[in-house]
């Protein structure tokens, strides 16, 4: 299946010069969702205990994958969204600082975890999520994304840090 055919490119959104990759047509496709779930499940079957997904769109794909793998689901959220005791990690954006948080009891030491999100660009959010999992002594088996934007450099950063990165499709800027 051609996943890209279900992803809409929106020029100049949310600001001029940005080409937004809109996954809503993909989300509307039951065939597309089944395909993504099957592809990711085949890759991680028997290799993970938990699926950690990054808010918000990562929750969609992460929860489907956790269900398919009969694994637990770990939400990595924006500040103040989790009710229990949390740990957090700040990371830089081109226009400031952001933060993600995780429950302190979300992952046991040595549990095998895959990190899931819809899109990999700079890798900042993914790297922050990975830092949280490392603090809990999880064993990260990989990072999975629906879309990779390799020209932005996130994949290279994650791979240089020693993480396996898997993406179902990628775009160069002109596409």
Active site residues: 57, 94
Tokens of 44: 């991680």
DSSP 40: H
- Closest alpha carbon to 88 in 76, 105, 106, 96: 76
CA distance 78 to 58: 13
The closest of 50, 154, 175 to 167, measured between CA atoms, is 154
């Amino acid at each position: 299946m051609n996943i890209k055919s279900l992803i809409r490119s929106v020029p100049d959104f949310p600001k001029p010069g940005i080409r937004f990759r809109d996954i809503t047509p993909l989300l509307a496709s039951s065939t597309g969702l089944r395909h993504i779930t099957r592809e990711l499940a085949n890759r991680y079957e028997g290799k993970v205990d938990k699926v950690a997904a990054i808010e918000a769109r990562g929750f969609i794909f992460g929860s489907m994958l956790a269900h398919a793998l009969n694994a637990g689901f770990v939400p990595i959220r924006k500040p103040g969204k989790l009710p229990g005791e949390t740990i957090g990690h700040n990371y830089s954006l081109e226009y400031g600082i952001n933060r993600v948080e995780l429950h302190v009891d979300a992952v046991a030491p040595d549990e095998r975890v895959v990190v899931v999100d819809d899109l990999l660009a700079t890798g900042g959010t993914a790297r922050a999520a990975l830092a949280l999992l490392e603090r809990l002594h999880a064993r990260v088996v990989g990072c999975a994304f629906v879309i990779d934007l390799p020209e932005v450099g996130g994949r290279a950063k994650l791979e240089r840090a020693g993480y396996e990165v898997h993406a179902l499709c990628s775009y160069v800027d002109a596409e």
